[in-house]
C-alpha cells in the first residue's frame, strides 16, 4: 500500500490563532526543542525588563480603569519597608458586606490614654511632649494682649481625692512624692495664687516663688520623670491662669515663673515676647519692679548663655529668644528702680558675656541672615548697657570680669567690638552705641588704661576715617570718638605717640569741617551740606580739643602746626562770635595757645600772628575767666614779636593788661604778669616800643598794682605769682633806666 504524499509538517505555535481554542496544543519533537533551547542561550530573545523605578506604568503594566494608584503611593510601594511573606497573608481578601455598618475606633480611649502616658514616661528629654498648640501672638497695632494658649500636656493621672477647689483643673501627679512637703506646699500655694482674686496677689506670688525655689524649681531630684510631670502641671496651671485673667500684672507674674520652670525654647520665646511687649508701656514698670522680673531675666540670660556651647549654636530661634529677653531689660532699665535691680542681679556681667560670645563668632565669614541676627542682638545689648551707665554708681560694674575662667572685663569687650577684625564696622548703629558708653566711661580716670593702647587707638582712628565723609547723620559717632581720644590725651602719655600716625587724617578732617562751616569752598559746601547745623559745631569742638591735647607732645605739636589746614582756625575764629558760640571759641583759643608755642618751625599759626593778637585783645575783658586766661597765653607767646607788641600798644592791649591786675582770679593775674614781662623786656630794641608800654603801665598805676599783687602773693605763700610780679617790676625798672641812659 502506497503512502500518501504529504507536504512538509509546519510547527504551529501552541496558541496559534488558527487552531481552535479547545484543541490540545501539539509540541515538536524532543530533538527540536533541545536545539531551540541551545540556540536561545547564545541569542536570548527574552525582552528587556526595566528597573522598577523606571517603568512606565501606562505601557509596561496593565491597570484596570478604576484602579489608578497615586504616584506617591506607588513610590512608597517600591521603596517601602520589607514586606511580609505572602505565605503569612490571607490568599483572598474577604468581600465587604454590601450592608452599611458602624465603624469601630482604631484605639479605645483607655488604650490611647495608657499609650500616651507610656510614651511620656519613656521620653528622657526634660521637656519632651510639651508643645503649645499655638504661638504667642504679639500684635503691635492693638493694645490687646494674647497670652499663652493652654498646651497639650502629658496626661497626668487624677488624684484619688474626689473633692477639689477647682474641678475644671487637672489634678497634680500622684506618686510617693505627693507626700513630700515641698510638693504639697507648692500645690497649695499655686492653687491659692490661681484661684483667688487680685487681692494680695503679690504676696501670694512671692509665696509660690519661695516654695518653688526651696524645691530647686522642681529639679535636681532623683526621679526625673516625676519632676518633669510636676513641672508640666505647674506650667499648665500658670498658663491657664494667665489666659483667664488677661491682665498685664498677671502676665508679668506668670512669665517670671515660666522662665524658671521650663527649658523649652518655644515656650521661653513666647514668654520673652510677651514680656517685651508689656515692657514697652511705661506704666507696667511698677509691675516689673514689684515682681522682680529683672532678677529673673538676668538669671535666665546667664543660664541660657551657659548652655550655648559652642557659640555657633546661638543662631536661629535661640538668638531671637535672647534678643527679646535683652530688649525687655533695655526697656525696663530706663527707670531707676529697675535699673538698680538689673545691676544688682549681675546684668552688666551677663550682657558682657553675650557680647563676648558674639566677638568669638567671626562675623565676617557668616551668612547674611546670621550676621543680621547678631547685629540685632548687639543693638539691644549695647542699648541696655547704655541705660545702666546713666548712674556713676554703676561704673564699677564695667570693670567686672565676664566669667570665672576669663580675664576680660566688660569695658575691654566693648572696646573689642570696635576692632575691624570683629566685623562690625559696617554697623554704624552698634559703633555709635558702643562709643556712647565708652565716652561716659572715659570721664573716669580708672577706665583710661582700658581705652588706650596702640590697637584700641588704631580702631578709633579707623572708625573716624571710615565715617568722616558719611552723609547719614553720623556726626554723633565722630563726636564720641574725638571726645574719647581727647580724654585719653589730657596728660602726656604713651597714647600721644600712638596718635601721631593719625595726625594727618585729623587735621584734614578739621580743614574739611571748617571749610563747610565757614563756607569758603562752594563745592565742598554743596557736597557736605548735610553737615550744616549744630552737629557740625559739636564735631569741631571735640576735634579742636583733641588736636590741642595732641600738641602737648612736642613731636605731635610740630607736625600739626606744619600742616596748612591748621591756618583755617583763624578764619573760623573770625567767623564765630563768642556770644553765640562760646564753647567753640574757647576751644579754638585754647588750641591756638598750644600751637603758638612752637616758634622754631614753619608754623602756619605764627604766620597770622597779628590777626590772632587782635582777636585776643578783644577777649581780654570777657566774663569767662577761662577764655581770658587762654587769650593771655596766646599773647604771652606772640608778644616776643615786635609787630604784635605794636598792635597791643595801638589796640589798647597794654592798658587792658593793667586793668586785669585787679582781677580776682589767680590764673588771670599770673598770665597777665607774664605778658607784661615780655612787652617791657629790656632786650627789646628801640623800634619795639618798650618805652611806650612802660609809659602806658605807669600812667594806669600799673607799678602800684604789681607791688600790691606781689605783697598779696607773699602773704598767701604763693611764691610763683610773687616771682612773676617781681620780674615784671624788674623789667619796668630796667626799661626806665635804659631810657634815661
Where b means 16+ CB within 10 Å and e means fewer, 356-369 reads bbbbebebeebeee
Quickly state the pLDDT bin for 57 (edges 50, 70, 90). Answer: very low
Question: Which class in CATH covers the domain with range 292-448?
Answer: mainly alpha
Kindly state the average pLDDT of the residues 106-121.
40
Please tell me the predicted confidence (pLDDT) of residue 122. 37
Distances (CA, A) of 508 to 286, 515, 548: 51, 11, 15
- Alpha-carbon distance 228 to 220, whole Å? 11
Angle at 196 between CA 194 and CA 199, to 5 degrees: 115
- Alpha-carbon distance 348 to 394, whole Å? 9
- Alpha-carbon distance 238 to 244, whole Å? 10
pLDDT tens, 698-737? Answer: 888 989 999 999 999 999 999 999 999 999 999 888 776 5
SS3 assignment, position 273: helix
The cell 614753619 sits on which residue? 602
Q: How many helices (H) and strands (E) does the chain have?
A: 34, 0
- Alpha-carbon distance 465 to 501, whole Å? 12
Please tell me the predicted confidence (pLDDT) of residue 29. 67
Please tell me the predicted confidence (pLDDT) of residue 719. 94
pLDDT higher at 281 or 738: 281
Quickly state the pLDDT bin for 24 (edges 50, 70, 90). Answer: very low
- Alpha-carbon distance 504 to 490, whole Å? 20
- Alpha-carbon distance 376 to 369, whole Å? 11
Quickly state the pLDDT bin for 284 (edges 50, 70, 90). Answer: very high
Instruction: Enumerate residues 6+ apart whose C-beta is below 8 A from 327.
Output: 276, 279, 380, 384
Angle at 676 between CA 670 and CA 681, to 5 degrees: 130
What are φ and ψ of residue 472, in 5° steps?
Answer: -105, 40
SS3 assignment, position 409: strand
Q: Residue 34: pLDDT above 60?
A: yes
What are φ and ψ of residue 345, in 5° steps?
Answer: -80, 0
- Alpha-carbon distance 290 to 275, whole Å? 14
Domain 452-600 has CATH 1.20.950: no
β-strand partners of 409: 401
Contact 248/284 with Cβ under 8 angstroms?
yes
Q: Residue 378: pLDDT above 50?
A: yes
Kindly state the average pLDDT of the residues 199-218.
79
Residue 99 burial (C-beta neighbours within 10 Å; 0-12, 13-18, 19+): exposed
Fold equal for 292-448 and 452-600: yes
Kindly state the helix (H) or strand (E) to which residue 450 belongs, with its residue range: helix 448-451
pLDDT higher at 85 or 723: 723
Kindly state the helix (H) or strand (E) to which residue 213 belongs, with its residue range: helix 201-214
pLDDT tens, 513-544? Answer: 998 888 754 454 455 554 457 888 999 999 99
- Alpha-carbon distance 349 to 414, whole Å? 12
Please tell me the predicted confidence (pLDDT) of residue 690. 66
pLDDT higher at 5 or 676: 676
Quickly state the pLDDT bin for 680 (edges 50, 70, 90). Answer: confident
If we measure between CA atoms, which residue out of 623, 637, 530 comes closest to residue 585? 623
Q: Is 610 left (phi over 0), alpha (psi -120 to 50) or beta?
A: alpha
Going from N- to C-terminal start, the domains of the chain cover: 126-157+171-263, 292-448, 452-600, 636-740
Amino acid at each position: 500500500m502506497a503512502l500518501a504524499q504529504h507536504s512538509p509538517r509546519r510547527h504551529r505555535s501552541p496558541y496559534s490563532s488558527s487552531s481552535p481554542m479547545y484543541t490540545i496544543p501539539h509540541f515538536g519533537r524532543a530533538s527540536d526543542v533541545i536545539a531551540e533551547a541551545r540556540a536561545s542561550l547564545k541569542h536570548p530573545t527574552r525582552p528587556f525588563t526595566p528597573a522598577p523605578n523606571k517603568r512606565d506604568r501606562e505601557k509596561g503594566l496593565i491597570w484596570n480603569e478604576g484602579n489608578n494608584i497615586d504616584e506617591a503611593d506607588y513610590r512608597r510601594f517600591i521603596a517601602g519597608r520589607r514586606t511580609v511573606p505572602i505565605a503569612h497573608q490571607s490568599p483572598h481578601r474577604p468581600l465587604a458586606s454590601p450592608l452599611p455598618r458602624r465603624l469601630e475606633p482604631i484605639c479605645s480611649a483607655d488604650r490611647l490614654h495608657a499609650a500616651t502616658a507610656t510614651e511620656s514616661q519613656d521620653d528622657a528629654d526634660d521637656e519632651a511632649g510639651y508643645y503649645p498648640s499655638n504661638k504667642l501672638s504679639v500684635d503691635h497695632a492693638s493694645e490687646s494682649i494674647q497670652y499663652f494658649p493652654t498646651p497639650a500636656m502629658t496626661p497626668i493621672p487624677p488624684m484619688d481625692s474626689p473633692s477639689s477647689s477647682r474641678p475644671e483643673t487637672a489634678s497634680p501627679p500622684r506618686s510617693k512624692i505627693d507626700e513630700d512637703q515641698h510638693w504639697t506646699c507648692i500645690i497649695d500655694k499655686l492653687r491659692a495664687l490661681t484661684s483667688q482674686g487680685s487681692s494680695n496677689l503679690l504676696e501670694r506670688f512671692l509665696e509660690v516663688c519661695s516654695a518653688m525655689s526651696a524645691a530647686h524649681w522642681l529639679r535636681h531630684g532623683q526621679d526625673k520623670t516625676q519632676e518633669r510631670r510636676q513641672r508640666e502641671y505647674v506650667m499648665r496651671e500658670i498658663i491657664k491662669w494667665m489666659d483667664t485673667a488677661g491682665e498685664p500684672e498677671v502676665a508679668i507674674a506668670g512669665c517670671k515663673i515660666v522662665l524658671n520652670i521650663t527649658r523649652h525654647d518655644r515656650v521661653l520665646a513666647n514668654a520673652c515676647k510677651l514680656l517685651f511687649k508689656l515692657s514697652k508701656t511705661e506704666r507696667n514698670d511698677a509691675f516689673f519692679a514689684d515682681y522682680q522680673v529683672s532678677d529673673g531675666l538676668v538669671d535666665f540670660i546667664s543660664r541660657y548663655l551657659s548652655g550655648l556651647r559652642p557659640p555657633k549654636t546661638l543662631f536661629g530661634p535661640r538668638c531671637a529668644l535672647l534678643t527679646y529677653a535683652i530688649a525687655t531689660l533695655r526697656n525696663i532699665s530706663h527707670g531707676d528702680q529697675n535699673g538698680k535691680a538689673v545691676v544688682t542681679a549681675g546684668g552688666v556681667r551677663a550682657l558682657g558675656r553675650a557680647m563676648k560670645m558674639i566677638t568669638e563668632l567671626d562675623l565676617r565669614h557668616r551668612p547674611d541672615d546670621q550676621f543680621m541676627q547678631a547685629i540685632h542682638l548687639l543693638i539691644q545689648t549695647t542699648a541696655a548697657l547704655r541705660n545702666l551707665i546713666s548712674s556713676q554708681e554703676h561704673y564699677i560694674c564695667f570693670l567686672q570680669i565676664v566669667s570665672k575662667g576669663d580675664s576680660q572685663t566688660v569695658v575691654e569687650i566693648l572696646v573689642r567690638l570696635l576692632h575691624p577684625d570683629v566685623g562690625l564696622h559696617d554697623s554704624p548703629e552698634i559703633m555709635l552705641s558702643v562709643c556712647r558708653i565708652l565716652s561716659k566711661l572715659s570721664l573716669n580716670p580708672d577706665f583710661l588704661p582700658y581705652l588706650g593702647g596702640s590697637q584700641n587707638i588704631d580702631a578709633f582712628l579707623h572708625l573716624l576715617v571710615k565715617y568722616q565723609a558719611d552723609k547719614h547723620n553720623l556726626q554723633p559717632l565722630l563726636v564720641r570718638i574725638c571726645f574719647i581720644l581727647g580724654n585719653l590725651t589730657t596728660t602726656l602719655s604713651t597714647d600721644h605717640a600712638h596718635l601721631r600716625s593719625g595726625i594727618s587724617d585729623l587735621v584734614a578732617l578739621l580743614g574739611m569741617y571748617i571749610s563747610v562751616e565757614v563756607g569758603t569752598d562752594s563745592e565742598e559746601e554743596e557736597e557736605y551740606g548735610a553737615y550744616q547745623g549744630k552737629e557740625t559745631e559739636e564735631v569741631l569742638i571735640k576735634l579742636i580739643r583733641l588736636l590741642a591735647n595732641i600738641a602737648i607732645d612736642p613731636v605731635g605739636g610740630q607736625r600739626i602746626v606744619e600742616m596748612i589746614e591748621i591756618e583755617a582756625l583763624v578764619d573760623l575764629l573770625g567767623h564765630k562770635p563768642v556770644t553765640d558760640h562760646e564753647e567753640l571759641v574757647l576751644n579754638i583759643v585754647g588750641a591756638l595757645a598750644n600751637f603758638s608755642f612752637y616758634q622754631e618751625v614753619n608754623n602756619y599759626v605764627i604766620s597770622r600772628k597779628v590777626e590772632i593778637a587782635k582777636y585776643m585783645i578783644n577777649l581780654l575783658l570777657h566774663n569767662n575767666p577761662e577764655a581770658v586766661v587762654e587769650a593771655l597765653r596766646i599773647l604771652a607767646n606772640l608778644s616776643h614779636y615786635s609787630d604784635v607788641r605794636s598792635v597791643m600798644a595801638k589796640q589798647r592791649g597794654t592798658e587792658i593788661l593793667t586793668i586785669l591786675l585787679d582781677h580776682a582770679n589767680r590764673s588771670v593775674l599770673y598770665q597777665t604778669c607774664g605778658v607784661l614781662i615780655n612787652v617791657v623786656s629790656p632786650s627789646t630794641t628801640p623800634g619795639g616800643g618798650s618805652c611806650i608800654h612802660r609809659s602806658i603801665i605807669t600812667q594806669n598805676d600799673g607799678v602800684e598794682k604789681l607791688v600790691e599783687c606781689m605783697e598779696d602773693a607773699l602773704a598767701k605763700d604763693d611764691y610763683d605769682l610773687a616771682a612773676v610780679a617781681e620780674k615784671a617790676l624788674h623789667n619796668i625798672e630796667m626799661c626806665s633806666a635804659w631810657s634815661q641812659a
